[in-house]
Amino acid sequence: MSDTAGDGIAGDGIKGDGIKGDGIASDAVWLKPGQVARRAGVAVSTLHYYEQLGLIRSRRTAGDRREYRRDTLRLIAFIRASQTLGIPLARIKEALDDLPHQRPPTKRDWARLARVWRSDLDERIERLVALRDNLANCIGCGCLSLSACPYTNPGDKLGAEGPGARRLLPASDGLTDRREVASPAPGSRPSNR
């Protein structure tokens, strides 16, 4: 079944004819970063960031310029859709690493992952609803007590993770990736930058 997504990308897997040992179709079309960014609706810096994380790959031209395979567009669509669901980039990378030839996810792949991520989403919603409901206890209190407030140190779970500032929610929930506060190294001074 063909499931091209308007970008000429085979949807149910690139296999058989036209595939080289590295999994790249011999007739692959390559696009410049600006073309990919424009068509994918992201900044070129985002492409570089995704590439740095190993989510997408490029090749270099003779003039040392980046080029991306056209099916990178589908890959970016997948990454963006997953991010919209709150899936952390590390988890998205794991899913992509599981695909043969690092090909973009097909319809079938996306349906399978969407099922898994829907249950993740359900869990996060449940957790957030519980957080919201418990927050009623804090409204009008304001103590922020390290021993009494369920939000400053829930169940003292953070103490088990070691000394220093810790996050409120597990990083794996995709909502707290940037909230984690690193503990300063012993003897280090706070930076003003």
Site residues (CB under 6 A) for ligand FES?
Answer: 137-138, 141-145, 148-149, 151
Least separation in angstroms between residue 130's CB and ligand FES is 14
Tokens of 72: 């990178």
What are the E-state strand segments in the chain?
Answer: 30-31, 59-60, 66-69
3-class DSSP state for residue 31? strand
Least separation in angstroms between residue 156's CB and ligand FES is 14
Tokens of 123: 């869990």
Q: Buried b / exposed e across 69-93, counting CB within 10 Å, b at 16+? A: bbbbbbbbbbbebbeeebbbbebbe
Least separation in angstroms between residue 132's CB and ligand FES is 13
Q: Give the rounded distance of the alpha carbon of 147 from its chain centre.
A: 34
Least separation in angstroms between residue 107's CB and ligand FES is 46
